[in-house]
Amino acid sequence: MQTDRSARRIAAFSLGTAAIFDLTGAVIYRVMRSGLPEAPPSPGAGAAFRDSAAILRDAHREASSHARGHGDAATPA
């Protein structure tokens, strides 16, 4: 009869290895990040938000006009 001990050992080893590398990676990232220069700000961050907001506002206006029956698609015959 086979036991599941070997499967448990493999799972424990792999989880332990993953935990060690995860902790090591987190420490290295924190140490290295303090030495790196700051990322430059993206020039179009505000413009992209304004464009997206304008598209959503126009779509809402169009959908509400269709719902009230003022649009071309909802015109009664």
Sign of CA dihedral 51, 55, 60, 62: positive
Residue 9 has pLDDT above 80, yes or no: yes
**What is residue 68's predicted lDDT score, i.e. its pLDDT?**
84
Domain borders along the chain are: 1-39, 41-77
> How many whole angstroms separate alpha carbon 28 and alpha carbon 38?
17
**What is residue 45's predicted lDDT score, i.e. its pLDDT?**
61
> How many whole angstroms separate alpha carbon 50 and alpha carbon 7?
55
pTM of this prediction?
0.33
pLDDT in tens, 68-77: 886 555 445 4
